[in-house]
Amino acid sequence: MEANAKLLNMDVLVKIISALSDNYIYLLVWGNMAIVVDPSAAEPVLEALKKDNLQLQAIVITHHHWDHTAGIDALVQATSCPVIGPDDERIPKLTQTAKDGETIAFGPLSFQVIETPGHTTSHVVYYEPEKGWLLTGDTLFGAGCGRLFEGTPKQMHESLSKIAELPGETKIFCGHEYTVKNLEFAASIEPSNQAVADRLSQAKRERQQNIPTVPSTLSLEKKTNLFLRSHEPSLKAALKMDHASDLDVFTKVRELRNHY
């Protein structure tokens, strides 16, 4: 079911569609055209297309996991539109690969592809610089990052470092609603971090009203997301890892979050 829609620019509407237990599907709409990002289910996307008489132009995928691709078959059958994603045979009906450094255009949108291995070996994210949007799949979450199912801590740390170089006002559209849990974890590590406490209170209020916590901004993530802060002395001190490398701190935080 559709949870929310936010008009972020006058010419493109981003519809945030809730699916499964905590997934987000993004439908980007201009005029009567649309693309869908990470369709974990087809039915809510088809309902949204029918409701607003939209023509689906493409299915855009960040990684192969079923909870980001399960809607592909039915959507392709209904619309015959292309499937774009990383070069990975595990993605159903893939027709165009998205490679690091490439630009892929849809109507008024022009996305830069950034390879971000870690969660999976072939994960990519999509950055629209004019709009300031980043579709992160399961690489970067609200106050978190994806589990390392296929990649290494070093790969994920480097992938997040790439994202951290983008402008602070970049809006982060992630694949799951994990923000409250991630902030509760962050608060357990740094109970005196006021930025984390404030964001946690806000996120809880939003979720109580069934409002998505996405999009966040990169500047907010850099203040409150432990996985983007492994270089900070305050986090190292909280972990009693004052002299550890940034990668060792990141690895420790990921391990702790796995068991939280």
Instruction: Write down the catalytic residue from 38, 64, 123, 138.
Output: 138
| Whether 67 is catalytic | yes
Residue 179 near residue 20, CB atoms below 8 Å = no
| Whether 198 is catalytic | no
| Whether 138 is catalytic | yes
Instruction: Write down the catalytic residue from 38, 64, 68, 123.
Output: 68
Cα angle, residue 169 at apex, residues 173 and 215 outer, rounded to 5°: 25
Residue 8 near residue 14, CB atoms below 8 Å = yes
| Whether 119 is catalytic | yes
DSSP characters for 39-80? -S-SHHHHHHHHHTT-EEEEEE-S---HHHHTTHHHHHHHH-
Instruction: Write down the catalytic residue from 38, 64, 119, 157.
Output: 119
Instruction: Write down the catalytic residue from 64, 65, 123, 157.
Output: 65
Determine the Cα–Cα distance for residues 238 and 139; give it in Å rounded to an integer. Answer: 24
Instruction: Write down the catalytic residue from 63, 64, 123, 157.
Output: 63
Residue 109 near residue 121, CB atoms below 8 Å = no
Instruction: Write down the catalytic residue from 67, 88, 246, 248.
Output: 67
DSSP characters for 220-250? HHHHH-GGG-TT-HHHHHHTT-TTS-HHHHH
| Whether 65 is catalytic | yes
Q: Active-site residues: which are they? A: 63, 65, 67-68, 119, 138, 176
